[in-house]
Amino acid sequence: MIQWTLKQARRLIVAVIGGTVLITGVVMLVTPGPALLVIPLGLGILATEFIWARSLLHRVKYHISNTADMVRNRKRTDSPLDPADSTPPPVDDPNPLDNDRRH
């Protein structure tokens, strides 16, 4: 009979719970839900016992950080119209032929 040590039992429990949370996050990529929060949470649970999950979690954190920095920088450079500018942009006539018929 197989004798389970406390460490092996803990690893199995972490693998089941972390794997379930991770798979739920992956499913949320195509269904409504906070997948971008649940996936790192599942990896964080798995990372308490597995080195591969810790490595993958560090990569995910790095990519999320870079993406957040890129979005922040884009917001600073690609700002919409200045609120102090009250002149709206010019609008092209949607149907220039109608103007010709009226004359």
d(CA 31, CA 8): 34
pLDDT digits (tens, 9 = 90+) for 3-32: 779 889 999 999 999 999 999 999 999 999
Q: Comparing 95 with 52, which gets the higher pLDDT?
A: 52
| pLDDT for 74 | 81
Q: Comparing 76 with 81, which gets the higher pLDDT?
A: 76
pTM of the full predicted structure? Answer: 0.64
| pLDDT for 71 | 87
pLDDT digits (tens, 9 = 90+) for 40-60: 999 999 999 999 999 999 999
Within its chain, how far is the Cα of 62 from the centroid?
Answer: 12
Length of the chain, in residues: 103
